[in-house]
Chains A and B, each alone.
Chain A
Amino acid sequence: MTQPWQAVVVGIALFATMAAYALFTGADFGGGIWDLLAGGTERGRRPRTAIDASVTPVWEGNQTWIVLGIVLVFTAFPTAFAAIMTSLFVPLSLALLGILLRGIGFAFRHEADRVRTEQSAGALFAASSFLAPFFLGVTVGAVATGRVRTDRTGNVPDAWLNPSALMTGALFVAACAYIGAVYLVGDSHRRGDEGMVRYFSKRALAAGVVTGVFAGINLVFLHNDAPYVFHRLVGAALPLLIVSIVAGATALGLVLIRRVWLLRITAGVAVGAVVAAWGWAQYPYLLPTSLSLREGSAPTASLNAELVVLVMAAVFVVPSFVYLYWLQQHEKLVVTEESGDLVRAVARENKTAARPKRPHRVLEAMVIGAAAWELLREAVARMRRK
């Protein structure tokens, strides 16, 4: 059975969006995780400063990938969206809580004027960095099991309370920690902070190994819980899976020999390939094995509209996003504090705050007079008419 090409293209774009979310927001979540694990105030100061400098300027842009993903799903694949949102109400609400708390902690931590408040806001930010990726992972794992179906109503706990879905959640957390550490190795290297490069390299290695182990365990679980996806993963999607494994292993080696840019690219390839493998493993199903692309797609005109949206994304969003990262990687974006010169200049300027004069007093009187005269004339005219 062939699938409509527009649906396939939008589906690919959706997975690309997810890969971008995993890479960029994953690095943010990872930063949050390392922030939480950085230890006490004194000991954790340096890594926290490094995380802050790397994550802060790009956080806003990264955050938005998920919104793009959501609007793509509900416009192009509405029935699947409705089923997922109904069946997985609980994990999605918890993921949403994570996203919300993370944004709040993030927005306010810089503005808190006391250290204690800053720490609690920071803890919020960090704790939610576990919550969001874990439950998004659970959602993805639950869909893979095929227990999210359009013909079920109400919450479906068994869709996500199973080893495979929960393991996918843990895998997402580990992967975020890994991506975050790799990103921070690069940024610390650029800033010439050798101590932090070592610090995050160690963590990248550890997280990389854990991610690999979790992925292996998850494959075993998938065999039981998600037979369709498992068989395609070790079948049609195997080349992509192998690319991911090789890239992941290479990245671990590159951490050891400190090839920063190559490391980032290979780590990116590893994540991108595994997302692609998962997408290909689900093909042609939106919800394995109950809803295929063909059955679940919006009418052609809607899909075409989404293609236009994708072109708009390519024209407006991608260049802006590249520009943002270019600026960030060239240290052009800094979290500024108040400039003292400006405050002094204002104080000097304000010394001569004279009372403004009243330039048009005569004119003002004339206008008021004319208006009063008109009203009076009108009133008199009315009285006469009566």
Chain B
Amino acid sequence: MLTAIGTLADHAVIPARSQMGASLGFHIIFACFGIAFPLPMLVAHWRGLRHDDASALLLARRWSKVMAVIFAVGAVSGTVLSFELGLLWPTLMGTYGPAYGIPFSIEGIWFFVEAIFTAVYLYGWRKLRPWLHWWTGVPLVISGILGAFSVVAANSWMNQPSGFTLSHGRITHVNPWAVMFNRATPWEVPHMLLAAYMVAGFTTAAVYAVGWMRGRRDRYHRLGFLIPFVTAGVCAPVQVAFGDSVARAIEQQQPLKFAAMEFVNRTHSHVTEWLGGIYVNGKVYFGLGIPDFDSILVGYSPDAKVIGWRSAPPRDRPQLINLVHLAFDLMVVLGIALLVLAAWQGWVWWFRRAIPETKWFLIPAALSGLAAITAMESGWVVTEVGRQPWVVYRMLRTSDAVTTSSGVPVTLVATLLIYAVLTCVVILVPWLMARRWRNQRPSPPEGAESAPPVSDARDDEPVR
């Protein structure tokens, strides 16, 4: 443990890792919206056009405004990441660029297409013909999925590097197909895509769940809740089932990462599954242990052997085991909780065509966005921290990849400051937008006998 910390303290590794982690953790939330938000938006838009549904149309239009802000922040934070690959990890790019760069190049194309059509869709509301305008949103969905595929393929390549020949520290031959479709691609890509749809869907739905709880129970809020909640809710069970297979794939492909996830120190059978807990000096404290269950999960039998991290020499062992384990558990727990929530809504919708009225549903629904984001971030912590001490698994150590330039601590502080402010602003701005929209109630048009919907009664501002 001490030697691990010792190697970490060399160079700029810790600030560089922190900066990369902060940048990626920030960007990924926006990336999720870039990938998955267009679909619910287009569903609402389609409904609005097809059924002449003013509520749905208004939702789509307002969502597109929020998406503009989110996409812009996602675009610049993505640009920051592409610079940081070189600024922080020049050795990684200098040596492995010819292989690792290929999925990024392809991602660049889809990112470009997405940026262009975001602009067209966003500013086309007034002057484009309605259905043509709807169709300009379709490339957003497609390029979002293809872009996510490429960039997650790049990450899975770091976990399962393949498709190149290395000689004298230089890549001499590359097989682009083997780079794109490495062993981890089929696991990581769908897992992340589903996560993106869950994050975007639950977060959007959560906003309307709050409105619903506060008594704004009109069609506008009903659609605003149901469309994204259903998109996310459909993904939830698939994600939980698929995630189970992903864990087994990790056990095969990166046994040491799996060992850290499940607190397996020595290789043995009848392995206990630990829920929560902290590992200190060979003992797990505060955890709930289920005997044999880890072996059963891995090999469907209590006799199944699971590889422990002591099978590796100390300098190759995973670091920050407790973080990896707890992040993994948090992700699983939140994923299952979201599945339950989705099933609840599914049940009530199937039999009653309604949104559950009870607070026991609505409060968790209002927190579902936060839960989905936390689960997704935890998943990335497991992937990235669990891969250490390698940046390219079993090929390049993180400490060998880091830049020789001084100045990373400064950029780290700048990054943290800017992103902290930006996070606040990104939450504040849609909130201000929503407040403005709520106040935007019209004077009752002629022929309307009743007062405007109840929601206005709750607003402090005078109704315009």
B is a partner of A = yes
Interface residues of A, Cβ cutoff 8 Å to B: 56-61, 63-64, 66-68, 70-72, 74-76, 78-79, 81-87, 89-90, 92-93, 96-97, 99-104, 106-108, 111-113, 153-155, 298-299, 301-302, 304-306, 309, 312-313, 316-317, 320-321, 323-324, 327, 331-336, 338-340, 342-351, 353, 356-361, 363-364, 367
Say how far B79's CB is from chain A's closest CB, in angstroms.
6
A324 touches B94 (CB 8 A): no
- CB <8 Å contact, B350 and A350: no
In the assembled complex, how far is the CB of residue B421 from the closest CB belonging to chain A, in whole angstroms?
9
CB distance from B221 to the nearest CB of A (A): 9
Compute how far the CA of A216 lies from the CA of B144 in the bound complex, rounded to whole angstroms.
Answer: 45
Q: A71-B82, A346-B58 are in contact. List 19 more A-B contacts (CB 8 A).
A: A68-B108, A68-B112, A83-B90, A85-B83, A93-B411, A101-B418, A107-B69, A155-B407, A332-B128, A333-B119, A338-B61, A342-B58, A342-B61, A343-B440, A344-B445, A350-B453, A351-B448, A353-B217, A358-B353
Q: Is A343 touching B441 in the complex (CB atoms < 8 A)?
A: yes
Q: Which of A60, A101, A327, A356 contacts B72 (CB 8 A)?
A: A60
Chain-A contact segment, one of B170-178, B272-280, B291-299, B384-392: B170-178
CA distance A6 to B217 in the complex (A): 62
A327 to chain B minimum Cβ distance, whole angstroms, is 6
Whether A361 contacts B351 by the Cβ 8 Å rule is yes
Docked Cα-Cα span, A103 to B444, in Å, equals 40
In which size bucket is the chain B interface?
35 or more
Decide if B5 is an interface residue (CB 8 Å cutoff): no
Asked whether, in the complex, the Cβ of A153 is within 8 Å of the Cβ of B404, the reply is yes
The answer on a CB contact under 8 Å between A353 and B445 is no
Q: Within the complex, which residue of B76, B350, B405, B414 is in contact with A103, where a contact is CB–CB below 8 Å?
A: B76
- The A-contacting residues of B in range 47-61, CB under 8 angstroms, are 54-55, 57-58, 61
Partner-binding segment picked from B97-105, B201-209, B302-310, B333-341: B97-105
Known: A104-B422, A301-B175, A332-B127. A81 touches B97 (CB 8 A): yes
Chain A residues lying within 8 Å of B79, measured Cβ to Cβ, are 63, 66-67, 96, 99-100, 103
B442 within 8 A of A: yes
- Complexed CA–CA distance, A247 and B55 (Å): 54
Q: Does B281 contact A (CB under 8 A)?
A: no
Give complex CA distance A344, B261 in Å: 54
Q: A364 — nearest CB in chain B belongs to which residue? A: B351
Instruction: Give, as a whole number of angstroms, the nearest-CB distance from B56 to chain A.
Output: 9
In the A-B complex, the 10 residue pairs with the closest CB atoms: A75-B101, A82-B94, A78-B97, A103-B76, A85-B86, A298-B98, A345-B54, A107-B72, A333-B123, A89-B405
* Chain A, Cβ-Cβ closest to B350: A360
A82 touches B112 (CB 8 A): no
Q: Which of chain B's residues have a CB closer than 8 A to the CB of A99?
A: 76, 79-80
Majority-rule SS of A interface residues: helix
Contact across chains for A67 and B101 when beta carbons are under 8 A apart = no
Beta-carbon nearest neighbor of B123 in chain A: A333
Contact B176 A74 (CB under 8 A): no
Docked pose: A170 CA to B111 CA in angstroms? 30
A86 touches B403 (CB 8 A): yes
A305 and B102 in contact, given A333-B119, A340-B442 (Cβ under 8 angstroms): yes
Q: Which residues of B contact A83 (CB under 8 A)?
A: 90, 94
Pair B126/A353 contact, Cβ less than 8 Å: no
Within 8 A of A (CB), among B69-87: 69, 71-73, 75-80, 82-83, 85-87
B82 pairs with A324, CB closer than 8 A: no
Please tell me if the beta carbons of B127 and A317 are within 8 angstroms of each other in the complex: no
Q: Is B450 an interface residue (CB 8 A)?
A: yes
Asked whether A79 lies within 8 Å of B78 as measured between CB atoms, the reply is: no
- The CA-CA distance from A64 to B76 in the complex, in Å, is 9
Q: Name the segment of B236-244, B319-327, B369-377, B428-436 touching the other chain.
A: B428-436
- Across-interface contacts of B28 in A (CB, < 8 A): none
Tell me whether B108 and A67 are in contact (CB under 8 A): yes
* CB nearest neighbor in B for A354: B219
Given contacts A75-B102, A81-B93, A332-B127, contact A103 B351 (CB under 8 A): no
B91-134: contact bitstring with A at CB < 8 Å (1 yes, 0 no)?
A: 10111111111101111110111011111101111111000000
Residues of chain B with a CB closer than 8 A to A90's CB: 405, 407
A100 contacts B173, C-beta separation under 8 Å: no
Question: Which of B77, B101, B404, B407 is within 8 Å of A74, CB to CB?
Answer: B101
B406 within 8 A of A: yes
| Given A78-B97, A106-B72, A309-B106; A64-B115 close (CB under 8 Å) | yes
Q: Say yes or no: B218 contacts A333, CB within 8 Å.
A: no
Tell me whether A155 and B98 are in contact in the complex, defined as CB-CB below 8 angstroms, given that A68-B108, A316-B109 are known contacts: no
